[in-house]
Amino acid sequence: MNSTQSITQSEIQSGTQPATQPIYERIYLVVRQIPAGKVANYGQIASIVGGCTARMVGYAMASAPDDSEVPWQRVINSQGKISPRGNDRSSEIQRLRLSEEGVYFNQNGKVDWKQVRWSGPEIDWLIEHGFAPHPSFREIF
């Protein structure tokens, strides 16, 4: 085990590691891990981050500036659809960005989760960054 993996489960759960960062920063840190061509849902991100709800993740995505390094477009709702974000054109912008990354929607406006669902960050990354997600975070839809 290297020095970045020496964080103990009790340190993570007690909040002595990055869990003490502001919640939006923790959400953005996780969302930055979603690669182009993949999407996650709000609940999945909340489960990885811990201490927040899917709605809080939605608020964080809505607060991310369009020109930020946070790929907010890669977080969608559990139905596989785009949720409205702030302004009238946001859904259109999100769909366009995802299409440019190879994420497509069917005639009902849904993605095919089997093709584009992000399985979450690697365990080593989670440990290194002080996350202790619920074990089911890879299964949440």
What pLDDT band is residue 16 in, cutting at 50, 70 and 90? very low
Q: Could you read off the pLDDT of 85-109 as tens digits, one per residue?
A: 666 788 899 999 999 999 999 999 9
What average pLDDT score do residues 2-21 get? Answer: 42
What pLDDT band is residue 134 in, cutting at 50, 70 and 90? low
- The chain-wide mean pLDDT, for the chain, equals 83
What average pLDDT score do residues 21-25 get? Answer: 90
pLDDT on residue 56: 96
Q: Check whether 1 has a pLDDT greater than 60.
A: no
Q: Could you read off the pLDDT of 122-132 as tens digits, one per residue?
A: 988 998 998 87
CATH of domain 3-138: 1.10.10.10
pLDDT on residue 5: 35
* 38 and 74 Cβ atoms separated by less than 8 Å: yes
* 72 and 31 Cβ atoms separated by less than 8 Å: yes
